[in-house]
Amino acid sequence: MKPLKTLGAIILVAGLAAVLILSRSYWSAWLSSGATAQKSYDAPVAPIQEAKTLKMTEQARKNLGLVSKAAKPQVYWRSIEVPGEIVDRPGHSDRGVTSPAVGVVTEVHAFPGDTVKPGDRLFTLRLFSEYLQNTQSELFRATREIQLITEQHARLAEFVKSGGVPEVRLIDLDNQLRRQTALVQSYQQDLLTRGLNPEQIKSVADGTFVSTIDVVAPPAIGHSKKVSDIQPVAFQSSGINVEGPAFEVQELNVELGQQVQAGQLLSTLANHQSLFIEGHAFKREASFLAKAAENKWPIKCTFAEDDQIDWPAFDQTLEIRHLANSIDSTSRTFNFFIPLSNQSRAYDKDNQTFIVWRFRPGQRIRLQVPVEELKDVLILPSSAIVREGPEAYVFQQNGDLFNRLAVHVLHEDRLQVVVANDGSVKPGLYLAQSSAASLNRVLKAQAASGIRADVHVHADGTVHAAH
């Protein structure tokens, strides 16, 4: 029995050994995976490096419109942005033309949109003024009286020399002559103010009374000794040349055949050469505006709907002239005013000249008022910066490679970003001036693909970082 038990144990062990050998592929893989898992669990995990460099082909840079410029320290004026609009300058832009006497409008020579110069005819009136008719009669009577006195003086002068007539008669005639001469001068001046020209006044003195009168465009406005707000402007176009101050008929206030009274408004003329920029600010910004006006700091502005292609470059220095001392009850803002010299050109059509102004009353603008000077800073366009949480980045170009650099932003507005010159960006490095957000997205996409943009593989199979 004992040999049989020994033989059975040997057979059992041999069978187990055969099973283990046949299932070796299963239990060996299980043992190796467990050991690897234990080893990976015990080993420290290497930190993942964040990608900071991307590669852009020349075609991709052209598609994005990328332009790089060297960074250089500059001086920047921090400013506040306030809205505004262009308005007429009171007393300079618009001119009212009134009737000099009572009459009826028989002709209208200038209509809305027409261009007129000082002295051009606007209206013809048939006079119904009793006062004007009496003035003409008195002028004619005084003129004839002067002629009679002069003739009588000449006749008596011979008798005075011979002693037949006392000299006091000549003295009396001289006094009468001076009185009549003074009356003639006063009547002439009165008729001049009523719109009659010197030729018409001369004809009245000769006995031909004036029954119609021409109302003409007024002369240019007189200004102070320091500044002439409406400068003589030469309007140039094909085939025409309009020199001197010109007006545009803005509004016609009477109709043909209408009876008008002395002093009644006939039409409104406009000359938009001298305008105001009217800014609207809140009371808390008053100190900034007052300081800018006092120090004569230049104001930057952006004109809405301004077609800069068809006009010369705008190089006027804008300064605040004065601040309003009242607050609008509706908007709770107060106004400040900046003088603006307009640009213009003219064109001819149907033998008439028309003026086109670059800036028009009612046009909206944005004003940048300087409040603080920042020195030794880097100035970039707003699209050259990309943000990720509290971090701000710029991209430095090195051939086809763009390196992302962290920067400290001191100030930013709608158009520009001011970066501290703290060594994070060395002066002279070429920085991308736009599309920073697009570059950052490309950087993340390249990092997600697992291919680093700042390495390259040599022919021998070795891998090196970008030189």
Domain residue ranges of the chain, discontinuous segments joined by +: 55-76+375-465, 82-90+273-372, 94-222+229-266
Between CA 268 and CA 276, with CA 270 as vertex, the angle to 5 degrees is 125
231-268 pLDDT, tens digit each: 334 444 333 344 456 888 999 999 999 999 888 999 99
Q: For residue 18, how many other CB atoms are within 10 A of its CB?
A: 10
Cα dist from 400 to 53, 57, 433, 436, 458, whole Å: 10, 6, 15, 15, 18
- Whole-model pTM: value is 0.61
Confidence of residue 150 (pLDDT cuts 50, 70, 90): confident
The pLDDT confidence band at residue 413, using thresholds 50, 70 and 90, is confident
**Mean predicted confidence (pLDDT) in 399-427:** 89
The CATH H-level superfamily of 82-90+273-372 is Efflux pump adaptor protein, beta barrel domain (2.40.30.170)
pLDDT score of 26 = 61
Task: Record the tokens describing residue 231, joined without a space.
Answer: 């400068």
CB 139 within 8 A of CB 205: yes
Q: Which of 168-172, 366-370, 431-435 has the lowest mean pLDDT?
A: 168-172
pLDDT in tens, 307-334: 777 788 888 899 999 999 998 888 889 9
C-beta separation of 115 from 273 below 8 A: no
Report DSSP letters for 124-135, one per residue.
EEEE--HHHHHH
Which has more pLDDT, 401 or 28?
401
pLDDT over 60 at 435, yes or no: yes
Residue-level pLDDT at 45: 46
Separation between Cα atoms, residue 413 and residue 367, nearest integer Å: 12
Length of the chain: 467
Give per-residue burial for 395-432: e unless 16+ CB within 10 Å, then b: bbbeeeebbbbebeebbeeeebbbbbbeeebeeebebb
Least confident of 25-29, 184-188, 428-432: 25-29
Average model confidence (pLDDT) for the chain? 80
81-108 average pLDDT score: 90
Q: Taking the domain 55-76+375-465, which CATH number applies?
A: 2.40.420.20
* Alpha carbons 219 and 246: distance in angstroms, whole number: 10
Give the containing element (helix H, strand E) for 30.
helix 24-42
Question: How many beta carbons lie within 10 A of that of residue 279, not counting itself?
Answer: 26
Please check whether residue 335 is in contact with residue 314, taking contact to mean a CB–CB distance below 8 angstroms. no
Cα(363)–Cα(287) distance, integer angstroms:
26
Q: What is d(CA 420, CA 375) in angstroms, rounded to the nearest whole number? A: 10
State both tokens at 429.
């490095």
- Mean pLDDT to the nearest integer, 417-432: 90
Helices and strands (H, E) in the chain, number of each type: 8, 28
